[in-house]
Amino acid sequence: MKEQTPLSERIITRSIQVAGYSSIVFVLLILSFLIREGAPAFFEVPLKELTAIRWYPIENYFGILPLILGSLIVTIGAALIAIPAGVGTAIFISEVAPQWLKEILKPLVEVLAGFPSVMLGFLGILIVSPSLRKLLELPTGLTALTGALLLAGIAIPTIVSISEDAMNTVPRSYREAGWAVGATRWQTIWGVTLPAARSGVLMAIILGVGRSIGETMTVMMVTGNAPVLPLKWNSLFSPVRTMTATIASEMGEVATGSTHYHVLFLIGIILFLISLAVNITASAIVLRHPKRAERILS
């Protein structure tokens, strides 16, 4: 007898299929568009000039190195601030804070995670940058450090929220085992709880830092946007320009199809590859095939 599937079932299956495939198609379309618009840059600008240190597109200097390094210095600075602060806060919320405080702090952090970044940039221009200028006696407060500080502000809520979840799933019995061998609360957190939540905390860090690499609005507002190669010891305290800020500020006034236009897309491709690498690392950690021992334990 022929199997009968009701019409409604078939319609539902089809539409879900279409939705699923279309998201793949869209991603591929975006990718192919990026490559189509960015690849010509390789033919129009010699590789030697692309990797030069001068970005001045009006006079045909297309050295993207300062932009890549600008992004890196701001992101690494942000990571150096956000990782200890974020993991520390997560430890506080999960292990130290009393229940009532925990119930206030956790939702608060989650609200912060959804804070529009342009508002953070606004705060940066109005408060962080002038105070940094006064504090460190700099000629301008719009520096790599300002960007790093604010990006850390964007990464911290993500790091806190996800690593707190990870530490919460560590069974109570682990902590009791730590206490039962005479470890203090802090020794137990450091030696038992944190290692047990390792993969979740790592994931939180990668997602948090990943978010700050792609962040545009805040860094454009507060880093000063000077495409200078940040290699001197004091580059942290001088203006830089990131890849994202470059695309956002120049794309609006560039002639479609010009060399400058193609190079901007090339920067987009580089950014895309960095994000891709971060995301692949993150999912490799999360989807890592659990070891035999871990499967038995869980």
Partner 1 sequence: MNIIEVEHFSLSYSDGTEGLRDITMGIPANQITVMLGPAGGGKSTLMRAINRLNDLADVISMNGRITVDGLDVNDPKTNLVELRRKVGMVFARPVPLPLSIRQNITYGLEVAGVTDKTILAEVVEKTLRDAVLWDEVYDRLNDPGVALSGGQQQRLCIARTLALDPKVILLDEPTSGLDPISTAKIEDSLQMLKQRYTIVLAPHSVQQASRTADFAAFFLQGELIETADGKDLFTRPKDKRTQDYVEGRFG
Binding site for partner 1 (CB under 8 A): 171-184, 187, 191-192, 195-196, 198, 291-294, 296-297
Q: Please, which residue, 90 or 197, has the CB nearer to partner 1?
A: 197
Q: Tell me the closest approach of the beta carbon of residue 109 to partner 1, in angstroms.
A: 23
Q: Please, which residue, 61 or 92, has the CB nearer to partner 1?
A: 92
Q: Please, which residue, 114 or 182, has the CB nearer to partner 1?
A: 182
Q: Tell me the closest approach of the beta carbon of residue 98 to partner 1, in angstroms.
A: 12
Report how far residue 235's alpha carbon sits from residue 90's, in angstroms, rounded to the nearest whole number: 31
Report how far residue 208's alpha carbon sits from residue 78's, in angstroms, rounded to the nearest whole number: 10
Of all helices (H) and strands (E), which one includes residue 104? helix 99-113
Q: Please, which residue, 14 or 198, has the CB nearer to partner 1?
A: 198
Q: Tell me the closest approach of the beta carbon of residue 255 to partner 1, in angstroms.
A: 58
Q: Tell me the closest approach of the beta carbon of residue 274 to partner 1, in angstroms.
A: 32
Report how far residue 54's alpha carbon sits from residue 64's, in angstroms, rounded to the nearest whole number: 7
Q: Please, which residue, 27 or 177, has the CB nearer to partner 1?
A: 177
**Which residues, 6+ apart, have CB-to-CB distance to 109 below 8 Å?**
89, 93, 157, 160, 161, 164
Q: Please, which residue, 144 or 203, has the CB nearer to partner 1?
A: 203
**Which residues, 6+ apart, have CB-to-CB distance to 218 below 8 Å?**
117, 118, 120, 121, 124, 147, 150, 151, 154
The residue behind tokens 């919320």 is 93
Q: Tell me the closest approach of the beta carbon of residue 287 to partner 1, in angstroms.
A: 20
Torsion of CA 21, 23, 25, 27, to 10 degrees: -150
Q: Tell me the closest approach of the beta carbon of residue 298 to partner 1, in angstroms.
A: 10
Residues of 140-156 as b/e, b for ≥16 C-beta within 10 angstroms?
ebbbbbbbbbbbbbbbb
Report how far residue 21's alpha carbon sits from residue 225's, in angstroms, rounded to the nearest whole number: 40
